[in-house]
Structure 1
Amino acid sequence: MLFCPRARSLLFNSPYGTKWNFQDNDLRLDISFVIRIFKLLKILVLEQIPLHKGLPSEIGQFVQLTFLAVRGDLTEILSSIAKLSNLETFILDPSGDIASLPDSLWDFLKLQFLYMRSSDTWVGASLSTENLDSSSNLNELDGLSGAIIPNCSSMERLMTKFPNIRKLKCKLF
């Protein structure tokens, strides 16, 4: 079995900024192949590859991942990312609207930067505010950009979850 024990970074980019044209089954095989070979990745960048509306569930197997950047036709983030307990930087650049970030986001105690970029000002992802009282504080969070805060009434409670934040750029709805 092929295994790359020393590889710590993988940048998966589409040539010339265009989307690849894989069928659903082909992509699942490719993602599984990547996970079997690069088990110890710390940096993973998925740029303009067809994720077919969501991150693959196998993404949770990269337990040492500290940097994850995803760009493409993403509309769902699975709770399988909850296993990424070492994640420090999470960058999302969806071409579609993500309804909300999963509650597991509050379990990323090492998270320092959460950036959601989009060319469309109405596209983004909302922070889950349903279980704020029982969720952990993100004490390490330094920067939060592009998140949608669903209602202003929870704004004060939400900000107490980021006691050390220095850079904040959000959308209020």
Structure 2
Amino acid sequence: MRLWIAEGFVQKTEVKSLEDTAEDYIMDLIVRSLVMVDKPKSTGGVKTCRIHDLLHEFCLRKATEENLLKLRRDDAGLPKFDEPSNTRRLFIYSKARHFQKSRLFCPLLSSLVVSIQSEEYGTPYNVSSIFCVFKLLRVLDLGKINLGFVFPGEITLLVQLRYLAFADIEVSPCKCSSDLCNLDTISALELDLGQSMDKIMKKFPHIRKLKCSLHETEEACGDWSKIVAMDFLRRLESLKLSFYRVKDKDYGFSFPMNLKKLTLEAFPWSMISSIGSLPNLEVLKLLGTKAGGEEIWNMEEGNSLNSNS
């Protein structure tokens, strides 16, 4: 649904949000037996869905005929993709090294999704040239292409970007020099705890869904106040944080008040009470979190939790 929203397929109404409208679209397709529910959400609704092979083939054929979507595979080992310059949506199934050498030129491209073969996941590739060519991208999903664990600074040239997904890479302020105000979804980042984290997150002021992994640096282990502040992300509704690479568990947290879904991995149990102040929380998932002998969740006075799971 977030891809639909990012592409502009979902029309905003005065009564419903874009997410609610997109949910209505999905439910209408399910009622018509065109789409089948694969996994339901814990709060109700649909998490993932699928369609019959015949319908999938029909949709691909119609999308190709109407120039809505181009699908390219290099099963024959051909590294070159010749696409019309007016192509707007492109899905590529390719070897990463072939995609890197493809030299695509589609200046009007608004959506690019890349899927690579699993045996190439560990090899780093430089694909920064695509950020300079496809400046109208609203959706960019590089799948499991390894970018070398360094955030490509050129990505800030994509001022229309609404949806961004890639393998885990580390982000530093010097590599993220300008704001991506239109960005709605990011998956996934690796962020240093400390003041640099604040600087980076402020580059995405309108983010609604975020998945990231945190780790410590010399700054975080030094004189820093050790407050993980994310409350300035006022539109953030879905957040997944991993603390597996954080050794010092003595941190304070300030979560966005608008959060509806929160997933925490290896979260410090001593700070669990900070979740109780989230008035809109509907879904809470704690993974790899140990109580450490303290079995009781001590909620601060005046706090309440409305989580459904």
Is TM-score (shorter-chain normalized) higher than 0.5?
A: yes
* Distance in 1 separating the partners of 2:121 and 2:191: 21
* Distance in 2 separating the partners of 1:92 and 1:43: 14
TM-aligned CA distance change 1:134 to 1:92, over 3 Å: closer
**1:107 Cα deviation after fit:** 3.7
**Which region of structure 1 is more displaced relative to structure 2, 56-65 or 146-155?**
146-155
* Distance in 1 separating the partners of 2:251 and 2:121: 42
* Distance in 1 separating the partners of 2:148 and 2:228: 34
Instruction: Please say if residues 63 and 86 of structure 1, whose CA atoms lie closer than 8 Å, have aligned partners that are also in contact.
Output: yes
- Letter of the 2:142 counterpart: L
1:102 to 186, 194, 197: 197
**Match runs of 1:1-173 below 5 Å:** 4-15=106-117, 17-19=118-120, 27-28=125-126, 30-32=127-129, 34-71=130-167, 74=169, 76-79=170-173, 80-81=175-176, 82-92=178-188, 99-100=192-193, 102-103=197-198, 104-116=200-212, 124-126=213-215, 137-148=232-243, 151=249, 153-155=251-253, 158-159=254-255, 162-170=256-264, 171-173=266-268
- Letter of the 1:13 counterpart: S
Instruction: Please say if residues 18 and 48 of structure 1, whose CA atoms lie closer than 8 Å, have aligned partners that are also in contact.
Output: no
Where relative contact order (Cα < 8 A, 6+ residues apart) is larger, the structure is 1
**Which region of structure 1 is more displaced relative to structure 2, 59-68 or 82-91?**
82-91
**1:61 Cα deviation after fit:** 1.2
Cα RMSD of the aligned pairs, angstroms, is: 3.5
**1:137 Cα deviation after fit:** 1.4
- Partner deviation per Cα, 1:92-138 (whole Å, 9 max, x = no partner): 17xxx76447322134221100124xxxxxxx325988596997611
- Partner deviation per Cα, 1:122-160 (whole Å, 9 max, x = no partner): xx32598859699761111001013438645512xx12x
Identical columns (%) = 25
Scaled by the length of structure 2, what TM-score is found?
0.41
1:119 match: none
* Distance in 2 separating the partners of 1:166 and 1:134: 17
TM-aligned CA distance change 1:130 to 1:11, over 3 Å: farther
* Distance in 2 separating the partners of 1:56 and 1:11: 17
* Distance in 2 separating the partners of 1:164 and 1:108: 16
Residue 60 of structure 1 aligns to a residue whose secondary structure is helix
Q: Unaligned regions of 5+ residues in structure 1, if any?
A: 117-123
* Distance in 1 separating the partners of 2:182 and 2:208: 10
| Alignment coverage as a number of residue pairs | 151
Give every structure 1 segment of 4 or more consecutive aligned residues whose post-TM-superposition deviation is greater than 2 Å: 1-6, 78-83, 97-103, 126-136, 146-153
**1:42 Cα deviation after fit:** 0.9
* Distance in 1 separating the partners of 2:128 and 2:167: 15
**Structure with max Cα Rg:** 2
Scaled by the length of structure 1, what TM-score is found?
0.68
